[in-house]
Amino acid sequence: MFAPSARTASDPSADRPLLVPGETCWRLERADRVAVLVDAEEYFAAAKEAMRRARRSILLAAWDVDTRVRLTPQDRRHGRPDRLGTFLNWLAATRPGLEIRVLKWGYAELFAVTRWQKPLAIKSWFTHPRLRYRIDTDHPTGGCHHQKVLVIDDRVAFCGGIDITANRWDTRAHRADEPLRRQPDGTPYEPFHDTMMAVDGDAARALGDLLRERWRRATGEEVAPPVLPPPPRGSGRRDPWPMRLQPLLRDRTVAIARTDPAWNGRPQVVEVETLFRTAIAAARRSIYIESQYFAADAVAEALKARLAEPDGPEVVVVNPIRTPNGMENAVMSAARCRLFEALRAADRHGRFRLYAAVTDGDRCITVHSKLMVVDDRLLRIGSANLANRSMGLDTECDLALEAGADDAEGRAAIARTRNDLIAEHLGTTPERVERVLAATGSLVATVEALDRGEGRRMVPLESLPDTDPGPIAGLVAESRLLDPDRPRAATELIGRALPSTIPRRWGQWAVLLVALLALGGLAALWRWSDLSAWASLDTVLDTLQALGESALAPLLLVGVYVAAGFVLFPLTVLVAATAIALGPLTGFLTAMAGALASAAAAFWVGRRLGRRPLERLGGRRLMRASRSLADSGILAVATIRVVPVAPYTVINLAAGASRVRFPDFVIGTAIGLAPGTLAFSLLGEQLRRTLYDPTAADVALLAGAGVLAVAAGWLAGRVLSGIRARGKTKGAKRP
């Protein structure tokens, strides 16, 4: 089909195994059966069938889980549970001895509530005792748990890119108007494409070990591997492998590759990135990639080196035109544009293509799969995006198959999987793709030959309008602020967001000038723009609820607080909107995280500027705040938070310019903000009713609560002031 390149044909390293435990993967395990599932219609149905056969254990870990989604909307039967939460609860109630554990990334709860979904903490109160929902917060700042793995009895496991959540289910037809493709509330969404891999045997047991360790990290509970009793006679549940799922291959070695950041004393694991680099370096003829993003610098560098070679492989990447979330789309599209230009410059031989998948009427298909096929030698499917954070910050899990030079069956299966995916995107058959590919010897030529100009097809991304994200998004992408490749301290992230080109000898004056211009610009914004109109509870609430589901949503919420602080946006309005949108627990945690991030950002700006420039700029308010913080310490900060003498951002700047230590500042801020933020969070539902459907009783109750909150704040301020005064007196009496 392809002629081997001269370079790799003469390079003995190209035939070395790609899957090496401790380097490119964690473990190599045997699977009796391996299958590839394309799109959520197939995966959800197979997962439901496998879980129905579970006897002792179901482990589900995901970036997001929505218990309201239907698993088989195409086959709804009256009286049979189909919504995920109802189905799992029914399994726990009807299968004695079955333990079900569901682990979800903690901060995904921040936006789940905006879809009017019950938080898992509350949902757990109303489920069977053997069905446990837990959230995973064991990750560094800015990182997330991104693995998507389902394990049944340690006998069957699924791993890939599909979360069992809203906005995932679709058929392989990806029709522009699919009546069953709807969110739990009935809202339609765009076509969605993704992939999973299913394995059994030792490979499934290894994934069970992986999830039990994740569960231990997140909850502290040690979970033993399931011990299966003999199946009851005539049960038909001896084998949990779904009957409808046809294996791609049998009796195969499967590799498990991970990304695990250095955190809580654990060493960094970068098997995912190492496997990307190794596989790209070994490619002879073609590299086919599907990914939600195209922003990983390490992968781009490896591809660039191969494209520069005169006899290197073709590279075909399939992306979505856009992602559902606006800000995420802008930032990640800017990163994609940057990498695309670099690769196009290196591609002197015309072997690189970046395609978007579209359907009828050029409607965007959200490509969410994380898949790579190298020649007919390697197939990998998992959770790792082509994004920097997937290389070293988020937890990821990929499965990979390698076929040796003498493994004709394995190579044919890998090539068939790639051709099947290309056929889906082009609206044709795998057999036709195979015939054209055999005739042309080129993936690029095959795609171009089968392009019908309408319906499902692959369109070069550079030819589409409105894909330029703009200069601001480009700057954010360049800084890697939202897409770092490893855990970074808050000070480092802030440093990346600030200019680094100011010479030291006149840096303070330059910063002072920038600050003056910024203050002038802020005054103009509040005076002549619509910014003041935004400072309303209604507007901010609408904005929070419109964030939608995104891998970056929690970072974006915290980013909203940080950005709001730098334009002197009222913190109270943000806290109130967060309480209404996210509910008591999640709203409180979100508001506290955002307020602390905003305070930390302004603190370090103030520390960089210094006290005198800030006092000249800020006048009496800033000088008063600075004097209040002059004695430093946690109590000083907590007191000024409870009874503020200046706006929130002004206090943060003053704290940075004062002698207060950063840890004391953060702790004092948390102590001072917690009571008021908690009050807002507990009153969130009352605020919502009063805002949208007020009654005299609601107004009176809210007013009374407000008076109590003010009184409590005043009392707390007096208590803290008294403690500080006694501390000063004792200090003065010491010899």
Q: pLDDT tens for residues 307-361?
A: 999 999 999 999 999 876 655 666 677 788 889 989 999 999 999 999 999 999 8
Q: Which of 204, 219, 234 is the last residue of a domain?
A: 219
CB 211 within 8 A of CB 59: yes
Domain annotation covers residue 228? no
State yes or no: pLDDT of 718 exceeds 70: no
Measuring CA to CA, how many Å separate 716 from each of 200, 530, 626? Answer: 60, 37, 21
Measuring CA to CA, how many Å separate 565 from each of 357, 437, 592, 601? Answer: 39, 56, 14, 9
Average pLDDT of the segment spanning 505-521? 45
Q: Which of 184, 219, 254 is the last residue of a domain?
A: 219
> How many domains, the chain?
2
Domain annotation covers residue 389? no
Domain annotation covers residue 2? no
pLDDT given at position 234: 54
Spell out the alpha helix ranges (H) of 374-442.
Answer: 388-392, 408-426, 430-440
Domain annotation covers residue 442? no
Q: pLDDT tens for residues 88-145?
A: 999 999 999 999 999 998 765 555 555 555 666 566 667 899 999 998 888 887 788 8
Over the chain, what is the mean pLDDT? 78
Q: pLDDT tens for residues 169-222?
A: 999 999 999 999 999 888 899 999 999 999 999 999 999 999 999 999 999 999
State yes or no: pLDDT of 703 exceeds 90: no
Q: CB 90: neighbour CB atoms within 10 A?
A: 17
State yes or no: pLDDT of 4 exceeds 50: no
CB 346 within 8 A of CB 269: no
The strand ranges marked E within 91-238 are 99-105, 131-136, 149-152, 156-160, 192-193, 195-200
Q: Which of 177, 202, 219 is the last residue of a domain?
A: 219
CB 611 within 8 A of CB 657: yes
Domain annotation covers residue 319? no
- Strands 99-105, 352-359: pairing is unpaired
Domain annotation covers residue 450? no
Q: Which two tokens stand for residue 547?
A: 């964030």
Domain annotation covers residue 354? no
Domain annotation covers residue 625? yes
Q: 714 versus 572: which is more confidently predicted?
A: 572
Considering the chain, what percentage of its residues have pLDDT values greater than 90?
A: 47
- DSSP code for 176: T
State yes or no: pLDDT of 37 exceeds 80: yes
**Residue 214 belongs to domain spanning:** 35-219
What share of residues in the chain are helix, strand, coil (percent, to 5)?
A: 50, 15, 35
CA–CA separation, 503 and 338 (whole Å): 27
Q: Which two tokens stand for residue 371?
A: 């898949």
Q: What are phi and psi of 395, to 5 degrees?
A: -80, 130
CATH code for the domain in which residue 86 is found: 3.30.870.10
Q: 270 - beta bridge partners?
A: 259
- CB neighbour list of residue 447: distance below 8 Å, 6 or more residues apart: 316, 353, 355, 422, 426, 458
